[in-house]
Amino acid sequence: MDVKEIAKKIITDCPVRVGQKVPNFEMETYDPSTGKFGKVVLEDLLKERKWVILFFYPADYTFVCPTELADLAEKYDELKEMGCEVISVSTDTKFVHLAWHRDEPLLKNVKYPMGADPTGQVSRLFGVYDENTGLALRGTFIINPEGVLVGSEVNFYNVGRNADELVRKMKANVYLMSHPEEACPAKWEPGKKTLKPSEELVGRVGEVLNE
């Protein structure tokens, strides 16, 4: 194995961390908006200057998962308006995605691509692959248009997520992309005060936010 192959294996085997560039990946998909199979390639989305949200979940035909995908579907249009592409991902095949979308009433409004990761390659890249079950944990990852991972959240199998908080974090990330000298405090929403880290701010955060 030459140096390039070794480096590629190291990158593939080690989960990407927040602040790091995400290696290119691709997955087969089922796209409910067209009813067709397709493929998603990270490099292609970044060329379009897209934000990319990967929404990993354990498996189709399970219990918490359809509630999460339905919740995310309610926010899909709002996320698209911010320049995001959302891709749900499990280790099921694209064929199972199609059947599940057809059978499960909760998924009727799901229009974002459903990524198929049956080998677990992409799930391993983001550190959510469970070797004991062959399933992915509930992981949400935000990749900015530069290809850098800026958001990471992982839950165990039995705890569902809240798409409202994902939307809030995306608003903050989009704002900070054009205001890199600022920082968004807890519960920040557009229109609220941000912080500008400096010597003068040390020990005065509460005072500044209440001015």
Radius of gyration of the chain (CA): 18
**Three-state DSSP state, 162:** coil
* Catalytic residue (choose from 14, 65, 84, 184): 65
DSSP H/E element including 173: helix 163-178
Q: Please give the Cα distance from 80 to 66 (Å, whole number).
A: 21
Q: Please give the Cα distance from 96 to 104 (Å, whole number).
A: 12
Q: Is 84 tagged catalytic? A: no
Q: How many helices (H) and strands (E) does the chain have?
A: 7, 9
What is the DSSP track for 39-71?
EEEHHHHHHTT-EEEEEE-S-TT-SHHHHHHHH
**What are the two backbone dihedrals, phi and then psi, of residue 7, each rounded to the nearest 5 degrees?**
-60, -40
- Bridge partners (DSSP) of residue 84 are 51
Catalytic residues: 65
